[in-house]
């Protein structure tokens, strides 16, 4: 991957039209990564970068100059009778009536205006941007991305009928990049969107739609298909991770070719019955336009409904989410060369490259023994986990998904492990990931 190809967090959507949407006459482009301002040119670092487009521009510099906030398009309120969601027979039966689907689900999608105080180098100023979200329940809870809400000092929700409400953060989770906001009341036109309960109902090729606020264009719908299932994406910008801390991944991510762009982050990816199957979060693109603005290349990623169903109720109840972990590092790329170097018949299972000091797997599992050898071409000597609780593990992503979504901190799991060519059964307790926020 060259430095022009990068994966991007699609945060506050107005960086793509920064001079038009954020600060009309100001040409200063700022990038906010997880809510912290950084110059756009700094985003060129790293082989794989997640760029939080909490797209901001100086709203009130030290000299007191100001400009108008990002404009939000206000569509005409839908006159369609409200139907019960999910719509019957619509999940996989083609793209026949997207207009009807849009009329039913659009009242559940919101634009989010964000304001944050930032250091402009010459004094404090205000930065504004916008992202997307969707209504989770009738109590006024709204789901978006953590990288959208970030460290905002002010949050305003704009509903599909143009109504506006101030919002507050109920909880955020850095491991899933999800956040829950709360408004005191919902406008009469608003409605909550149902969340898919079983991710097994999805198949590659199923049609989907995305609705959100790309480049500040609220209530925009695009359509496509599920391009792949079971992807993993980084949970946070690597540049924001504490030194020496492992990088965590979001499991079971949905890949789609539905166009999602800066500003779609936090908005829903829906099936044709109107169920939320994921939360749009990142794109991978080589389409970097003038001024560093990323463009859609047909490779977008949505945080899956399985993660939403695990995390959002916890955020509403306690403001934070608990995650299990084993405290090991591995690679999704278990190659034939690695298998041969470790005297294995095939590259199947989760290869343990390293074991986190003082983590749950310390003294239980073994990582590669040659990592300190500067001349080592492939890791050698690490355990290979081939099953957990009797369920086969084909690769490290399988292990991540099982531990993250099917265990709770403190739970005992039974691992089937190949160590030195010999199969062993090992029982251990999973731990709780340290707080990321």
Residues 157 and 164: beta-carbon distance below 8 Å = yes
Query: Is 151 known to be catalytic?
Result: no
- Higher pLDDT among residues 15 and 375, named by residue: 375
* Residue 422 domain flag: yes
Clarify whether residues 270 and 368 are in a common domain: no
**Structure-block tokens of residue 122:** 């010459």
Clarify whether residues 290 and 391 are in a common domain: no
Which residue out of 55, 173, 177, 237 is catalytically annotated? 177
Query: Is 271 known to be catalytic?
Result: no
Clarify whether residues 276 and 160 are in a common domain: yes
**Structure-block tokens of residue 351:** 């290869």
* Residue 376 domain flag: yes
Residue at which a domain ends, from 318, 342, 359: 318
For the chain, report the end-to-end CA distance as a whole number of angstroms. 30
CA distance 253 to 263: 19
Clarify whether residues 110 and 53 are in a common domain: yes
The domain total for the chain is 2
Clarify whether residues 231 and 298 are in a common domain: yes
* Residue 89 domain flag: no
Which residue out of 130, 265, 273, 401 is catalytically annotated? 265
Clarify whether residues 311 and 348 are in a common domain: no
Which residue out of 43, 55, 141, 147 is catalytically annotated? 147
Confidence class for position 403, pLDDT limits 50, 70, 90: very high
Look up the domain containing 292 and give its range.
6-69+103-318
Clarify whether residues 292 and 352 are in a common domain: no
* Residue 225 domain flag: yes
- Residue 384's alpha-carbon distances to 110, 284, 348, 378, in angstroms, are 45, 30, 8, 14
Query: What backbone phi and psi angles, to 5 degrees, belong to 106?
Result: -55, -35
Q: What is the mean pLDDT of residues 207-233?
A: 95
**Structure-block tokens of residue 174:** 């850095």
Clarify whether residues 168 and 268 are in a common domain: yes
Confidence class for position 312, pLDDT limits 50, 70, 90: very high
* Residue 86 domain flag: no
The residue count for the chain: 437
pLDDT in tens, 46-66: 222 232 333 333 333 222 222
pLDDT in tens, 93-118: 555 589 999 999 999 999 999 998 88
Clarify whether residues 304 and 212 are in a common domain: yes
Q: What is the CATH number of the domain that holds 388?
A: 2.30.42.10
Query: Is 177 known to be catalytic?
Result: yes
Clarify whether residues 196 and 169 are in a common domain: yes
Is the confidence at residue 220, as pLDDT, over 70? yes
């Amino acid at each position: 991957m060259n430095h022009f190809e990068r994966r991007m967090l699609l945060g506050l959507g107005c960086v793509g039209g920064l001079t038009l949407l954020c600060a009309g006459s100001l040409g200063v482009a700022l990038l906010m990564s997880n809510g912290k301002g950084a110059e756009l040119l700094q985003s060129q670092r790293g082989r794989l970068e997640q760029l939080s487009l909490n797209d901001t521009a100086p709203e009130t510099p030290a000299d007191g100059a100001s400009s108008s906030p990002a404009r939000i398009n206000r569509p005409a309120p839908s006159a369609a009778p409200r139907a019960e969601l999910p719509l019957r027979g619509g999940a996989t039966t083609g793209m026949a009536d997207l207009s009807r689907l849009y009329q039913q689900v659009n009242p559940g999608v919101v634009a989010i205006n964000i304001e944050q105080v930032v250091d402009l180098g010459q004094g404090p100023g205000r930065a504004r941007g916008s992202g997307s979200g969707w209504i989770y329940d009738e109590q006024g809870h709204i789901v978006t991305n953590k990288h959208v809400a970030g460290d905002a000092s002010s949050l305003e929700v704009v509903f599909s009928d143009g109504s506006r409400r101030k919002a507050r953060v109920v909880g955020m989770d850095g491991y899933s990049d999800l956040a829950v906001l709360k408004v005191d009341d919902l406008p009469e036109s608003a409605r909550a969107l149902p969340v898919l309960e079983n991710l097994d109902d999805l198949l590659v090729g199923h049609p989907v739609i995305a609705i959100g606020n790309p480049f500040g264009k609220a209530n925009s719908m695009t359509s496509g298909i599920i391009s792949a299932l079971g992807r993993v994406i980084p949970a946070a910008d690597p540049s924001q991770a504490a030194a020496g801390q492992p990088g965590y991944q979001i499991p079971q991510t949905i890949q789609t070719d539905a166009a999602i762009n800066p500003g779609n982050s936090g908005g829903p990816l829906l099936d044709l019955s109107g169920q939320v199957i994921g939360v749009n979060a990142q794109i991978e693109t080589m389409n970097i336009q003038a001024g560093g603005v990323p463009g859609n290349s047909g490779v977008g990623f949505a945080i899956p409904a399985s993660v939403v169903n695990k995390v959002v109720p916890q955020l509403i109840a306690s403001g934070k989410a608990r995650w299990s972990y084993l405290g090991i590092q591995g690679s999704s790329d278990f190659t034939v060369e690695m298998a041969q170097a470790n005297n294995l018949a095939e590259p199947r299972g989760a290869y343990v490259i390293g074991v986190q000091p003082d983590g749950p797997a310390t003294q239980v599992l073994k990582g590669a023994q040659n990592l300190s050898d500067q001349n080592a071409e492939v890791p050698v000597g690490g355990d290979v986990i081939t099953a957990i609780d009797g369920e086969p593990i084909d690769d490290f992503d399988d292990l991540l998904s099982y531990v993250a979504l099917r265990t709770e901190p403190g739970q005992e799991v039974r691992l089937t492990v190949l160590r030195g060519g010999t199969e062993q059964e090992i029982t251990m307790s999973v731990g709780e990931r340290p707080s990321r926020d």
